[in-house]
Structure 1
Amino acid sequence: MVTVREHARLTTGSCINTLDTHHVSPTAFDWLCALQSRLRPGGASLLEVEGRQWLRLDSLVGVIQTPCGTTLEILPKTHDHEDDASCSRAMLRKMVASLLDLPAKEAGEAALEHFDVPLTEWVMRQFLLSLQRLVQQGLRQDYVRVEEELPYLRGQLHTTAQMRQLPGRAHHFHVRHDVFVPDRAENRLLKLALERVRHATNQADNWRLAQELSARLHEVPASTQPQQDWRAWSRTRLMSHYQPIYPWCQLVLGQGMPVALAGDQQGLSLLFPMEKLFESYVARWLLKHLPQHLCLTAQAASEYLCWHDGRRMFQLRPDLLLRNHNGAAVMVLDTKWKRLEADNRANNYGLAQGDFYQMLAYGQRYLTGQGKLALIYPAWTGFDVPLPMFEMGPGLRMEVLRFDVENDKLCVSDSFWHQSPVIEVVSQRLA
């Protein structure tokens, strides 16, 4: 087990192992370099190679299991202390739980702090507990048409096959009949995920529970066509008790993952772009805490940067857009997973000039030059005081806000949101 933080450096040489620098085997080093080559065409960046002995990780977080047996755990860089891995691990689990839209009961503190293990073991544990509850409630069964040869007549006689029966087997019957079995698309996917967990887990409790559930699901075959079974997953009222396990099954099987790892290794790997996790977490927090006179739109895409030859060019997609009761845009917010330094005025606090150009374009197109802009960064000890207001033009202002992930709090005053009259509440579920 190699536990590091995002942007850590890995080496095949000798070093003092910390969360920011760690030794890995040459086989794991080479496999990670090959993995980066496979991820690059899709736009994902896992690491940067620095010579023959060093590589630097990017902002992907999660767990990677290499074929040689190395488990690389990458945690978010949220705390100052290099030995504080448990807090970062708990924060990552909380953000992943928010990404899955789990009910409050399942995403509570007791569930998140059940035991301090890497993300994959926690995901496998949640899958096994959800599957255990589902088995106790009862698996959904369905009628399946079976064609077989029996020494007795059962169901419907298959006349064509019976007429072709060999003389020596005339006493056997080719029959068709329906059997009531749990061989459904949903159960086949659950069995496939269970088998993957059973072979991948390193926790004794998880392995014992997986063995028990595998014995109880012995009648269910594992899915051989996962994509087809995912499309056949039913979401009707009769299948409502299957919904809690759906996101966990997706994670175990890598369905819809932000970064999918293709390969023949037997381990379970989960990777998440930290920028997307932070954006999703902030958006879901805002949905619960926004004043009633504002509604939230994620990834708005109605405006473009310019027109050319009668056509629009360069679509503008802010992370978060706030509208009033009339539907008019009043505020644009963008999330950035980056550490700012409030006392480093000489280096512009660590702010990027390109982000300001981007926000200025949002303000001109979505707010017509009148309104409020905000950049949201994670709070930490080096960014514990608000920055002064940024004037982007007449009537257009921008604030740099702090979001405390550990305490679930956006550090703003009560008057920050009050800009338009209160009429109605409009909310929508974020994709």
Structure 2
Amino acid sequence: MLIITLKEYQSQEIPRESISYDLKEKLYREYSKQIEINLIADKKGDRWRINAQGYVGYIQVSPDLAIFIEPKTPIKNVLAMLEYTPEFNGFKFPELVNCDTLQDFLNSLAALLANQVLEKCRRGLYRSYISQNANLEYVRGRIDIPKAIQKPWQIKIPCQYQENTHDNEDNQIIFYTLHRILRSQLCTENTQTKVHKAFHALQGYVNLYPFTAADCRDRHYSRLNQDYRYLHLLCQFFLDRTAPTHKQGQLSSFSFLIDMASLYENFVAAWLKRHLPPHLRLYKQYSIQIGLTCAIDLVIKDIQSEECKFILDAKYKIKETVSSQDLHQVRSYAIAMQCPEAILIYPQDLTKALDHKPDAIHTRSLTFALDNDLDQCGQRFLANIRSDL
């Protein structure tokens, strides 16, 4: 198998014969947001130039081709950003802090889930009562009278009863996630063995049904299944970021992708919400009307006066300077909100920072870096606007 490792927002050139035209078309059709691929022809020979966009992760294009997209941000900081997001709020993953590459991270995460499932199987799986309908030779639960009247000649008795079983949705979600990981070819051989062992441990108790990440959210937990919250969180992480395509029982493609722009925006919002002075309140995706309905990334208001203090727009881009489009957009928001401060936030310093005040609106570019300790980077960012707070 050809494995191509790219760096986020960087390109790599591959000999033309390494990737068939059909696979090139598949990349263009299914992963154009994540991968840009173009044919280069010059004196050096024909070759594909593959450029990674604002996603990191793993793409199993075919059984013969896989692509890893490594983040430019250290893996431990990507993990720290995830821990700030609402889905992981309050959860820590100390087992993953020593991961250096994306493959290390994904393998460790899959192994963590497998180990947690095996431990749960040793301690005992959660059982719950499930409503069942069946024709039995004896009465169990209560007789289904309407069905019995419809077929009075039937020897077996139609019954409705409650069965205490392991084959419930809590266990089925985990079972399906392990199945998805096994089909993905995402893991190394050692991790694959662990995941297969966990899958086999559930196989005799649980039936396989498809689930989505939405099925992992807003679930009800009692004292009997409280420990499943952590397992379902891990399942949600995999199901939310994977997109398999099956064709005639064979693996056609599989992806595990993180949208770094969305993660960066969510992280900045979560960090500011936790560290802003108590007299200020942060609003995310604040809706306003400017001819049409728009959503501002972040708005900071004074709690008592409701006065808008800052308009903030997070831009996960590698830029030398602020584009005129971004400048116009954030100023339009500030004008509509009658806000004196508009700030564009970038993950690294611009070659030419913006400090623009042609009128009552002060527009700036500031950096919330991701290359070092995130709390220290956040405090430096907050210090740059603290005088206005």
Query: What's the TM-score, normalizing by structure 2?
Result: 0.79
**Counterpart position of 2:43:** none
Residues 358/415 of structure 1: CA separation in 2 closer, same or farther (3 Å cut): closer
Shift of 1:136: 5.1
Contact 2:300/2:311 (<8 A) preserved = yes
Q: Which of 35, 50, 53 is the matching residue for 1:56? A: 50
Question: Which whole-Å CA distance do the structure 2 matches of 1:415 and 1:187 have between them?
Answer: 49
**Counterpart position of 1:299:** 285
- Counterpart of 2:68 in 1: which secondary structure? strand
How many positions carry a matched residue from both structures? 366
**Counterpart position of 1:364:** 335
**1:358-413 CA deviation, whole Å, 9 max, x = no partner?**
111011012x1x42121111136x76xxx766233433212221112132113346
Matched, 1:328 2:307: yes
Q: Which of 187, 199, 202 is the matching residue for 2:171? A: 187
Q: Which of 4, 12, 15 is the matching residue for 1:13? A: 15
- Aligned partner of 2:35: which letter? L
Shift of 1:290: 1.4
Question: Which whole-Å CA distance do the structure 2 matches of 1:102 and 1:227 have between them?
Answer: 17
Contact 2:115/2:198 (<8 A) preserved = no
Q: Which of 196, 209, 213 is the matching residue for 2:194? A: 209
Question: Which whole-Å CA distance do the structure 1 matches of 2:253 and 2:124 have between them?
Answer: 29
- Counterpart of 1:237 in 2: which secondary structure? coil
Residues 241/292 of structure 1: CA separation in 2 closer, same or farther (3 Å cut): same
**Counterpart position of 1:68:** 63
Question: Which whole-Å CA distance do the structure 2 matches of 1:321 and 1:234 have between them?
Answer: 31
Contact 1:182/1:219 (<8 A) preserved = no
Question: Which whole-Å CA distance do the structure 2 matches of 1:316 and 1:267 have between them?
Answer: 35
Shift of 1:181: 0.6
Contact 2:13/2:49 (<8 A) preserved = yes
Query: What's the TM-score, normalizing by structure 1?
Result: 0.72
Residues 394/202 of structure 1: CA separation in 2 closer, same or farther (3 Å cut): closer
Question: Which whole-Å CA distance do the structure 2 matches of 1:104 and 1:412 have between them?
Answer: 23
**Counterpart position of 2:134:** 147
**Counterpart position of 1:402:** 367
Unaligned runs of 5+ in 1: 15-23, 79-87, 306-312, 341-348, 421-431
Q: Which of 99, 105, 110 is the matching residue for 1:124? A: 110
**Counterpart position of 1:316:** 294
**1:50-69 CA deviation, whole Å, 9 max, x = no partner?**
45732433222211112223
Contact 2:110/2:195 (<8 A) preserved = no
Question: Which whole-Å CA distance do the structure 1 matches of 2:187 and 2:353 have between them?
Answer: 50
Residues 122/102 of structure 1: CA separation in 2 closer, same or farther (3 Å cut): same
Question: Which whole-Å CA distance do the structure 2 matches of 1:358 and 1:316 have between them?
Answer: 10
Shift of 1:354: 1.0
RMSD: 3.5
- Aligned partner of 1:354: which letter? Q
Unaligned runs of 5+ in 2: 41-45
**1:191-245 CA deviation, whole Å, 9 max, x = no partner?**
1111222343533442333233223313333443536992897324344332222
Question: Which whole-Å CA distance do the structure 2 matches of 1:7 and 1:263 have between them?
Answer: 29
- Counterpart of 1:319 in 2: which secondary structure? strand
Matched, 1:47 2:36: yes
- Counterpart of 1:226 in 2: which secondary structure? coil
